[in-house]
Amino acid sequence: MKKRLVNIKKIGCVFTLIFSLFSLFSCITEEDSSESILESSLPTSSSSEKKTYKDFTFKLNEDQKSYKVILKPTSEEENLIIPSEYDGLPVTSLGGFNDNYTFKSIELPSTITSLPSGAFGGSMMLETINLDYVTSLGSGAFSNCDSLKSVVLNDQLEVIEDRTFYHCISLTEVKLPMNLKSIGKSAFYDCRKLENIIFPDGLTTIKEQAFELCTSLKAINLVDTLTFLGDYAFYYCSSARTLTLSSSLNEIPNFCFQNCKNIVDVEFPESIKKLKYYSFENCINLSSITIHAKDIHFGGHIFSKDKNLLNVYYSGTKEEFLEAASHFDGAWYIETSMFNVLCNNDEGLIHKGNGQFDSFDA
C-alpha cells in the first residue's frame, strides 16, 4: 500500500513538472509574439533612405509617389547633377535653386519635366543647363541669370511664360521649340547679347516687351502664323537691320519698333490696316516703306526720324493716299519734313511738312 502511494506521488510530480514546463514555454512564445507585433508596427528605413547627398535634401510630394529635391543652402558645388530617384521613387520636382551664387551648371534628370515659377531666378553664376526633358517652364524661371549663355528648349514646349529669360545679359543663343505658340511678356527683356532668333511656324503670339532692349539682335523675321504683337515687343533692338512682318497681323502696336535705328526698309502686308503710336519713331536709317493696304490708318509720330528722306511706296492712287493722309493723326512728325510718296499710277507726292503735299510725276 505504501509503495502504491509513493508511485502515485512520483507520477504527480512528473505531471506537475510537465505542466510547469508547458506554461513557461507558452509565456515565452507570447512574449516573442508581442515583440514581433511591436517591431512590425515601427517605421522601417530602406537602404536607399540611408543614402545621403551633401548638396540635396528630399521631400515626399503630396501624391506620396515621388520626391522633390531641395538644394541645401550650404552647398558649395559648382556642377550639380540631380538624381532621378530617391528611396525607390522618382524625383519629379525641385526647389531652393533660386538666388544662388555658387553653381555654374546643372544636369536635370529625365524625370523632371516641369520647372516652377522662379525656379533658377537670380542664380547669377549659372552658365549651362540641359532642358532636354522640360516641357513646361514657369514664369521667371531663369530671370536675372546673368551668366546663362545658351539654351536649347524641348520641341514639345508650347509657351514661354512671362519674364522667363528676363535680363539674361550673357545669353547669346536660344533654340526655340518647333511647337512654340506663345512668347510671354518680357520673356527675353534685356537679353542684350542675343544676336539671332528663329521663330518657328505656328507661333501666334509675341506679348508686350518680349524682346525689348535686345540690342544685339541682327534680324527680326516674323512668321506668317503670327497674329498678335504686344506694345514695345521689339523696342530698342538697335542692331536689327532687316524686318519681315507677318501677313496675319492686323496692326503694329504702340512703340513696337521704336529706336530700331538700323532698319532700312519695311514692307507692310495688306493685312496690316493700322500703325499705332510711335511704332517706328527714331528709326533713323529707315529709307523706304511699302504699304499694300489702301485703307491703312496711322497713329501719331510713327516715322519721326531727323529729317532724313523717306520713300513711301503706296499701292493705291494719289487720291486714295491723300484721303488716307487726312486721317493720319500726326503720323508724319513735323521733323520728318522730307519724304516722297510713289503711287501705283506713277503719280507722286512730296511732303512739305505738317501734312501738306505737292504732286509730282514719278
Q: Classify each residue of 85-108 as buried b or exposed e, where b means 16 or more C-beta atoms within 10 Å of its C-beta.
A: ebeebbbbbbebbbebeebeebeb
Q: Does residue 354 surpass a pLDDT of 80?
A: no
Confirm if 312 and 289 have CB atoms less than 8 A apart. yes
Q: Does residue 172 surpass a pLDDT of 60?
A: yes
| C-alpha dihedral, 87 to 89 to 93 to 98, nearest 10° | 20
The pLDDT assigned to 51 comes to 66
pLDDT digits (tens, 9 = 90+) for 91-104: 999 999 999 999 99
The pLDDT assigned to 330 comes to 58
Q: Does residue 158 surpass a pLDDT of 60?
A: yes
The pLDDT assigned to 208 comes to 98
Task: State the number of CA atoms in the 13 A half-sphere of 339 facing the CB.
Answer: 28
Report the mean per-residue pLDDT for the chain: 84
Task: State the number of CA atoms in the 13 A half-sphere of 203 facing the CB.
Answer: 26
The CA distance from 233 to 216, in Å, is: 15
Of residues 235 and 51, more confidence is placed in 235
The pLDDT assigned to 302 comes to 79
**163 CB-contact burial (10 Å; exposed 0-12 / middle 13-18 / buried 19+):** buried
Count Cβ atoms below 10 Å from residue 330 Cβ, excluding itself: 15
pLDDT digits (tens, 9 = 90+) for 2-28: 444 444 444 454 445 444 544 544 444
* Greatest distance between any 2 Cα atoms in the chain: 159
Tell me the pTM: 0.83
pLDDT digits (tens, 9 = 90+) for 32-83: 443 332 232 223 334 344 467 999 999 999 999 999 999 999 999 999 999 9
pLDDT band at 361 (very low <50, low <70, confident <90, very high): low
Q: Does residue 190 surpass a pLDDT of 50?
A: yes
- As a whole-number percent, the residues of the chain with pLDDT over 90 amount to 65
The CA distance from 275 to 328, in Å, is: 10
The segment with the largest mean pLDDT, out of 77-81, 306-310, 329-333, is 77-81
Amino acid letter, 36: S
The CA distance from 318 to 123, in Å, is: 58
Of residues 122 and 20, more confidence is placed in 122
The pLDDT assigned to 5 comes to 41
Q: H or E stretch including 356?
A: strand 356-361
The CA distance from 251 to 229, in Å, is: 8
- As a whole-number percent, the residues of the chain with pLDDT over 70 amount to 78
The segment with the largest mean pLDDT, out of 36-45, 285-294, 343-352, is 285-294
The pLDDT assigned to 22 comes to 46
Three-class secondary structure assignment of 101-157: CCCCEEECCCCCCEECCCCCCCCCCCCEECCCCCCEECCCCCCCCCCCCEEECCCCC
Q: Does residue 31 surpass a pLDDT of 90?
A: no
Q: Does residue 260 surpass a pLDDT of 70?
A: yes
251's grid cell: 496692326
The pLDDT assigned to 53 comes to 92
Confirm if 67 and 60 have CB atoms less than 8 A apart. yes
**What three-state secondary structure class fits 289?**
strand
Q: Does residue 335 surpass a pLDDT of 60?
A: no
Q: Does residue 331 surpass a pLDDT of 80?
A: no
The pLDDT assigned to 301 comes to 76
DSSP character at residue 78: S
The pLDDT assigned to 54 comes to 92
Number of H helices and number of E strands within the chain? 2, 26
Q: Does residue 173 surpass a pLDDT of 70?
A: yes
Q: Where are the beta strands (DSSP E) in 225-355?
A: 228-229, 242-244, 251-252, 265-268, 274-275, 288-291, 297-298, 310-314, 339-342, 347-353
